[in-house]
Structure 1
Amino acid sequence: MSELTYAEVGATAEKRLPSGYHHVRESLVIGHGRGTFERAATELLEGQAQRRAGTDVQLSDVPLRKGSRVVMRLRIGPLRFRIPCLVVWAERTSTSCGFAYGTLPGHPERGEERFEVRLTETGAVVFSIVAFSAPGRWFTRIGGPIARRVQTRMTRRYLEALRRGEPRLA
């Protein structure tokens, strides 16, 4: 994992995220019941949250697992971004499923993002995203506030993407 562009590998699993980064912690109830959980878990590990959020996604493995490579391409107006990541954690149990990927050279940011779907004791299916990031390229350093807005927008789109399996883009 020496290719990763940050040192704090796995830190999205911690209660306290590393200092010196922008932090994201967002969750959304996307449905209820075992069927919803199973569908959302499968879709999550197939890259559907990213696809439905508007990125072109290439996965080295389906389902995603530790060591999988993810390359997203995002277009914002006339700009096109290549977003390479490496999965640093992936797990599927009877009540939780998720993965975390870290940034590789060429990614606009440096850091890690964790996506997790949980089936709670009450039957709610909760999709959570935890991330820490800092500018990784000259254009994200210069365009800091714009990069944060794009990240906020993408986080919302990811969360909505697994709700009842249909895209609900803002």
Structure 2
Amino acid sequence: MTAQEPAFSYTPVGRTAHRVTPPGFSPLFVRTLLDTGEAAFAAASRAVLEWRMHRAMGVRMDTDAERAAPGVRVTVSLGVGRWRVGGSCRVVWTAEEERRAGWAYGTLPGHPECGEEAFLVEYAEDGRVWLTVWAYSRPAVWWTRAAGPAVPVFQRLYAHRCGQVLRRLAREGDAP
């Protein structure tokens, strides 16, 4: 983080790497089977690390970086027209390992939620390839507080949609 970069809108930062939910946050855990084999793992990993999973879902990912890397700032927005909602985030951690690849971002001030969300592709010993979406969050603005229980439902649907889209991308391989 440079002197010009704002601090994250929450603490502690980085707990998604250990699948720990800090006190005062609501957890989210969704795991989706994508496919089997090394080729599926490689394709899914690239799609997650290069923002393609999100963009294929129709999520706007405004960033200058071609890939997720610690410190990269990204503005995420969902919806259409005047119903588009967005917020700034910064990548907290990345993983590019033999059997795991992914990243997490944390919210910055002004985001409608505060917390962290991780997208991790794992290549299991049995050959199956999984996407895990792990997050912890709490409302940061009046309208997400007012939405109450609808927000976690939307977050869960979003995480399931990530898995559906990444399954398709993993099966397509290197196709854009």
Q: TM-score, normalised by structure 2?
A: 0.88
RMSD: 1.7
| Structure 2 partner of 1:133 | 137
| Structure 1 partner of 2:26 | 22
Give, in whole Å, the separation in 2 of the partners of 1:15 and 1:147.
Answer: 20
Specify the SS of the correspondent of 2:79: strand
Does the 8 Å contact 2:17/2:93 carry over to 1?
A: no
Specify the code of the residue in structure 2 equivalent to 1:38. Answer: A
Give the C-alpha shift of residue 97 in structure 1. Answer: 0.3
Give, in whole Å, the separation in 1 of the partners of 2:86 and 2:167.
Answer: 26
Give, in whole Å, the separation in 1 of the partners of 2:150 and 2:80.
Answer: 11
Structure 1 residues not aligned, in runs of 5+: none
Does the 8 Å contact 1:36/1:164 carry over to 2?
A: no
Q: Percent identity?
A: 34
**Equivalent residues, number:** 166
- Structural mapping, 1:66-85, within 5 Å: 66-75=70-79, 78-85=82-89
Give, in whole Å, the separation in 1 of the partners of 2:85 and 2:115.
Answer: 17
Q: TM-score, normalised by structure 1?
A: 0.90
- Structural mapping, 1:43-58, within 5 Å: 43-58=47-62
Tell me which protein shows more strand as a share of its residues. 1
Structure 2 residues not aligned, in runs of 5+: 171-176
56-65 or 87-96: which moved more? 56-65
Residue-by-residue CA offset, 1:6-63 (whole Å, 9 max, x unaligned) = 0111111224311211101111110110100000101101112222223111123111
| Structure 2 partner of 1:152 | 156
| Structure 2 partner of 1:60 | 64
| Structure 2 partner of 1:13 | 17
